Structure 1
Amino acid sequence: MTTTLAAVDICRFGARRDARTQMHLRRQMYELIADACAITRVPWASCYREDRGDGALFIVPPDVVGDHLLDPFAHHLAAALRRYNQLAGDIAQIRLRLAVHTGRVYRDEHGVAGPALVHLFRLLDAPSFKKTADDSVGDLALIVSDRLYNDATESGGMIDPDAYTPCDVISKETRTRAWIWTPPPR
């Protein structure tokens, strides 16, 4: 089935954090994602989910329009992160990297697989994206596949194309163009 896929990663998860703090960060990450889904009417309970230790994979039902994960979802997630971080101490601060792509997903007895998933995680782990996320002043950095970005901008969706910056991604065998969005400075 063709659907929209998202992968989230907690930036610098292992840096100076003990197991208790890491467990707290994971709980908060899931709560923040669920809150952003609820606000944007993305059915979190119906999403396929896999835990990734310091992050998560979730695949929305095929009837959810892919650009909804760009705007309004990413904007609501950024706002939820900002609100959480205002009240969290230094050790509990959360910064997230979010990758979103669209494509065909295949299921078997072990979970999901396919080229779309490989592409999603190449985007998430791209050194150029990690650097952008590290240099960003915001709590969230979003990378969107060229395919989804073009679909969203051509369909006249809610996203502002000028808010995205093109990025050449080189990650393992993947060489592609993607688009990065970070929230405006506070």
Structure 2
Amino acid sequence: MRHPERRLLISVDMERYSRRTNLQQYEAQKDFRDLLHEAAHDVGLDRVAWTTQQAGDGELAILPRDVAESRVIGRFVPELNRRLRAYNSSRVPAARIRLRVAVHQGLVHLDGANGFPGNAVVFVCRLCEAEPVRRALAAFPDAGVALVVSAEIYRDVVTEYPEEMRPERFRRVEVVHPDKGFQEDAWLCVVDEDMSAPPTAGTSAPPPAPRGGGPAAEHRREPSDLPARPRDAGGIRTGDVRVDGQNAIGHGATAIGSVGRDVTFGGGREGRAR
């Protein structure tokens, strides 16, 4: 057994691959490989020198020792995202390629009998499979890449080169795989998207306040839940009493309640029409 080597690891996975037809999977695999090669070539990276383990919907890549992490994160990933956006712009949703990309570094054995043994390999794959990463990519339908990096990569690379990495675009997430005993912090961004207030994929808006049901139902609702009045309606509401039009009231004025009784507002007191 050879000694393990400390390398930069990239795990890439294609969104919604299993939902494609056989022909769509065939075409997606070819275009996926071409897009990765072209993006790497454009930023001066030699994909031929990468050690890769292929899967139908992605790959695990172990990069050469002399590859700069900042070039991978700050140049290769944005270029890949740019190419994916251009590629997807002329295709129907079912044919688009959108990727989850995870980056980590650690010790890995390159002479494994059936892959690359090492906890760093397991770690980067867990990041790529994480539910927060899936949700983030789904929340931005025009995006090409959702990038997640380990806490070490964020600390040592992203924050050290802010002019290239834009650390303000990253958000800390918790990656949890309960069935695998995995729970770690990571940092996530959707390339060229603002995640400060992202839409939430797969959720619906809270149900509206109940309407109808007569005065009793209306009385149970908080004043803040009552329908807003237009600004030009000329009405004033104090507490849960509202008077409109010429009967609008002010401090010390008098209004007629709903059953014809006077309700006086003044001296800091608040009345209620019944």
Could you tell me the TM-score, scaled by structure 1's length?
A: 0.93
Task: Tell me which of 147, 151, 162 is aligned to 1:146.
Answer: 151
What is the aligned counterpart of 2:114 among 101, 106, 110? Answer: 110
User: Which among 172, 175, 186 is matched to residue 169 of structure 1?
Assistant: 175
Tell me, in whole angstroms, the C-alpha distance in 2 between the residues paired with 1:31 and 1:25: 10
The DSSP-based 3-state class of the residue aligned with 2:66 is coil
Tell me, in whole angstroms, the C-alpha distance in 2 between the residues paired with 1:174 and 1:60: 25
Matching residue of 1:46 = 49
Whole-angstrom CA distance in 2 between matches of 1:79 and 1:142: 13
Q: Distance in 1 between matches of 2:192 and 2:159?
A: 23
> How many residues align structurally?
185
Q: Are the counterparts in 1 of residues 70 and 161 from structure 2 also a CA contact under 8 Å? A: no
Structure 2: gaps spanning 5 or more residues:
195-274
Measure, in 1, the Cα distance between the counterparts of 2:44 and 2:106: 21
Runs of 4 or more off by more than 6 Å in structure 1? none
Of all paired residues, the percent bearing the same amino acid is: 27
- Please state how far the C-alpha of 1:54 moved relative to its aligned partner: 1.0
Structure 2 length-normalised TM: 0.64
Shift of 1:95: 1.0
Q: Which residues of 2 match residues 21-170 of structure 1 at below 5 A?
A: 21-107=24-110, 108-137=112-141, 138-156=143-161, 158-170=164-176
Q: Greater strand share, 1 or 2?
A: 1
Q: Distance in 2 between matches of 1:143 and 1:179?
A: 6
Q: Do the aligned partners of residues 153 and 18 (structure 1) sit closer, same or farther apart at CA in structure 2, a change above 3 Å counting?
A: closer
Give the number of the structure whose alpha-carbon radius of gyration is greater: 2
| Higher RCO, Cα 8 Å, sep 6+ | 1
Q: Within the alignment, does 1:184 sit opposite 2:188 as a pair? A: no
